[in-house]
């Protein structure tokens, strides 16, 4: 049965490759007018090394959303995100200070830079959290330059800890355990009509600021959602005041690996490991939900990086008694490694634990509580959708 499944997935992958080639040939034949654009994704690094990736596409930018956008407008924007036309095998040059390097995009238009700085960042540059990397390619049709600026987070030396967080049903409510509800969220809502996990912005701000109020503890977001939703999720976090941080998503094609749940789990581990490897002196708080694989993923992180995890907060999603029992068993295993894993119903419970351990300031707890109440009385996505259609 397993071999048949893999054979089917390989067939689907082959079909997708052929579709991509046909799209590329049609684009060349009819000389589409859509502009070439570089989409950089927020990167991260140290005083000596910067990691930055992105994608080159031939598409009109979707643009910022509006709370008055209709369901049809949201659906149209979602279609544009997933119908993106990648630009493969074109050179992209990155510049940072006196450093410069060129790489080629891959088959899906992605590029990645691993910048080894000839000289470490020095004051005042090393006191800034975000650093700009200039990017440039050329339109293959006209040879005109196309430019963009990428941002790379470099945590300050005074950071007390880092945070690694899931996104779906941890930061933003998606209904990941209900496929129909999740589809509605992805296709019919925008950054304004999606709702955050109650109190999440105040809680993440408190962790970001730390005990001293200006620790600038870095926050990283790791999700199984596709890169096609990067602009939507970034806009959502900015709108709700969630601290800026690298947002690590995944390529969502139709190849065999990308359709397997097990590969999603390994993908998230492959995102988390480089973060812990790059900052060996930093410990981390891990945040996720019980709906899918976060508890199992974080258990593996604890095993591979002993002494590096301060705590794990898992939002308890109603996924049935069997799943809850399985998560509680994982929590007991993790506690044997002297790492607390809390199965919490909301951010307030997590913030109480963080306060007790000295990771946030006392005055931040009432802010989380107030924001949680405010989010609880906010209109539901269905109510927002009805109002925008009126």
Per-residue pLDDT of the chain (390 residues; tens, 9 = 90+): 444 444 434 443 444 454 455 445 544 433 457 789 999 999 999 999 999 999 999 875 555 544 554 443 444 445 454 556 789 999 999 999 889 999 999 999 999 999 999 999 986 665 689 999 999 999 988 899 999 999 999 999 889 999 999 988 787 766 444 343 433 444 334 333 334 457 888 999 999 999 999 899 999 999 888 888 888 888 888 888 899 999 999 876 544 444 445 577 899 999 999 999 999 999 999 999 998 799 999 999 999 999 999 999 999 887 788 999 999 999 999 999 999 999 998 889 999 999 999 999 999 999 998 887 765 544 444 444 433 443
Nearest Cα neighbor of 77 from 214, 191, 182 is 191
Measured between alpha carbons, how far apart are the two ends of the chain, in Å? 50
Would you call the peptide bond into 124 cis, given omega within 30 degrees of 0 as the criterion? yes
Closest CA to 352 of 313, 309, 317, 302: 313
**Residues 129, 249, 99, CA angle at the centre, nearest 5°?**
45
Are the C-beta atoms of residues 223 and 297 closer than 8 Å to each other? no
Strands in 318-387 per DSSP E: 341-344
**Contact 189/385 with Cβ under 8 angstroms?**
yes
pLDDT of residue 190: 37
- pLDDT of 354: 97
- Domain residue extents for the chain: 17-153, 162-389
Structure token digits, residue 369: 């509580």
Q: Which CATH architecture has domain 162-389?
A: 3-Layer(aba) Sandwich (3.40)
Phi then psi for residue 178, to 5 deg, are -120, 105
Pull the structure tokens for residue 61: 């930018």
Phi and psi angles of residue 318, each rounded to the nearest 5 degrees, phi first: -75, 85
Fold of 17-153: Immunoglobulin-like (2.60.40)
| Residues sharing a CB contact under 8 Å with residue 192, sequence separation 6 or more, in sequence order | 65, 66, 67, 69, 239, 384
Neighbours of 213 (CB within 10 A): 11
- DSSP code at position 34: P
Q: What are phi and psi of 70, to 5 degrees?
A: -80, 170
The whole-number pLDDT of residue 264 equals 75
**Which DSSP state fits 117?**
-
Reduced to 3 states (helix: H, G, I; strand: E, B; else coil), residue 15 is helix
Give the CA angle between residues 220, 223, 226 to the nearest 5°. 125
For residue 102, list its beta bridge partners: 93
Q: Count CB neighbours of 325 within 10 A.
A: 9
| pTM of the complete model beyond 0.75 | yes
């Amino acid at each position: 049965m397993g071999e048949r499944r893999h054979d089917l997935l390989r067939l689907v992958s082959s079909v997708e490759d052929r579709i991509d080639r046909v799209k590329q040939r049609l684009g060349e034949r009819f000389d589409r007018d859509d502009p070439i654009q570089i989409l950089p994704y927020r990167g991260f690094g140290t005083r000596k090394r910067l990691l930055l990736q992105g994608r080159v596409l031939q598409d009109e930018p979707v643009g910022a959303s509006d709370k008055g956008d209709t369901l049809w407008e949201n659906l149209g924007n979602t279609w544009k995100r997933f119908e993106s036309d990648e630009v493969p095998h074109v050179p992209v040059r990155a510049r940072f200070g006196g450093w410069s390097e060129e790489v080629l995009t891959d088959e899906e238009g992605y590029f990645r830079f691993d910048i080894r700085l000839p000289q470490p960042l020095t004051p005042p540059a090393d006191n800034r959290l975000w650093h700009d990397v200039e990017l440039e390619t050329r339109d293959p049709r006209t040879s005109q330059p196309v430019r963009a600026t990428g941002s790379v987070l470099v945590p300050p030396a005074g950071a007390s800890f880092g945070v690694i967080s899931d996104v779906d049903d941890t930061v933003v409510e998606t209904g990941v355990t209900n496929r129909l509800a999740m589809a509605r969220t992805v296709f019919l809502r925008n950054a304004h009509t999606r709702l955050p996990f109650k109190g999440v912005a105040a809680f993440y701000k408190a962790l970001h600021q730390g005990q001293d109020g200006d620790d600038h503890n870095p926050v990283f977001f790791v999700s199984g959602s596709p890169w096609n939703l990067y602009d939507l999720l970034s806009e959502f976090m900015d709108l709700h005041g969630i601290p800026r941080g690298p947002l690590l998503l995944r390529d969502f094609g139709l190849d065999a690996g990308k359709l397997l749940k097990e590969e999603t789990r390994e993908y998230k581990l492959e995102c988390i490991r480089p973060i812990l490897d790059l900052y060996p002196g930093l410990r981390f708080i891990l945040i996720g939900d019980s709906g899918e694989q976060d508890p199992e993923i974080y258990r593996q992180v604890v095993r591979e990086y002993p002494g590096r995890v301060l705590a794990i907060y898992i939002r308890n999603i109603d996924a049935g008694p069997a799943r809850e029992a399985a998560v509680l068993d994982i929590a007991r295993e993790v506690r044997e490694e002297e790492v607390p894993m809390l199965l919490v119903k909301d951010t307030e419970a997590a913030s109480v634990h963080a306060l007790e351990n000295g990771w946030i300031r006392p005055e931040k707890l009432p802010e989380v509580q107030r924001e949680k109440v405010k989010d609880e009385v906010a209109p539901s996505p269905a109510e927002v959708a009805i109002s925008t259609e009126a």
